[in-house]
Structure 1
Amino acid sequence: MTSDARARDADLVAALGRGERAAAFDLLVVRYTPRLYRLCWLLLRDSAHAEDAVQDSLLRAWRALDSYDPARAALSTWLYSITRHHCLGLLGRPALQALSLDEPDGETLAATLAQPEAAPADARATLQTLIDALPETPRACLQLFYWEDRSVAEVAAQLGLPDNTVKTHLHRARARLRQALADQGLDDPALWL
């Protein structure tokens, strides 16, 4: 069975198979630049650095394009992996680190989320603020799963995590957000329709 990611990029892989390297790469750039930017911004949290990281990652992908093996991973997974590793290198960290509520910083986060803030005029802005306050890995899981419409397996591959860890991050992040919204009186579903 072909995964969604493999099916989405079948045209690119076919073009590479026919030796149309430049044409395939041009299409890859058009298709993935916005997605790579979102991933870079998610990891680096800075627009200028994210733009530079996208360009660097695409250059790395171009140089390594001949080594891409469709049997090992979907093209998007391979590209996201290159980008993720590049961003992590820029951050000077070997991997994203999850924050547990059992750790001292986790309690601070939970307390911050639970404190009511001055309610912004737009409930969606509040939700974005709460999402931005999540630890890096759960936030990345949420944004890739919901905004990028990635499957759990694709999120796991992109972030270098096991599938069950991604599911746990999603579950816990949703629970934190639900509680934080309730604490601010924004848990009425009518506000979000």
Structure 2
Amino acid sequence: MAVDANDPVASIPRDTQQSAEDQLHRHLAEGRYREAFEVLVAEYRDRIFTLAFGILRNEHTAEDMTQEILLRIWKGLPGYRRTASISTWVYAISRNVCFTELKRRAARATVSMSDPEIQDKVDSTVSSQMPGGELGHALDVQALLGKLPEHYRRVIVLFYLEDKSYNAVADMLGIPLGTVKTYLHRAKLEFLKLIRMEESRVNW
């Protein structure tokens, strides 16, 4: 069949006339995983980075997570089944990797309470934002925070010390927004009770 030189589509290689999804499925069906991965990277890399940055709000971390996501995708290609579209599959992997990173950062934030460099911030936070701040100022605030249940301690650290929003705390810990607010309220009440008890002990 002759090619019409005046037809711009006719001069385009056949692969490029297909959608990226079609190319991916064809390569995967033929077991050509490297070719499928190359198409996927060209089609989705920028979208993956945009999603990662939107969740993590840090360009360097988003770039690192983009590489991690692409690695997960490469390893997962042989096991991909067409129960979901490629885009849905890529999105699910991307979201899972990013939220796993958020939870890891949340865990690190909890550990960071023992860092003496943040003692001043802990004290000022208690004084300015938490009930009983004036009483707590002369006490070992870090030790008192350490007595809170871990789920309360994490929301206190992220919200007050890391300056995260309610929504960010919910995303990082993988819990509903309402639960974050409930934990913060209960944590402050529990913390105030600990301060009162410690104050009574000191003044005994």
TM-score (norm. length: structure 2):
0.41
Whichever structure has more helix as a proportion of its residues is: 2
Q: Which has the higher contact order (CA 8 A, sep 6+)?
A: 1
Larger Rg: 2
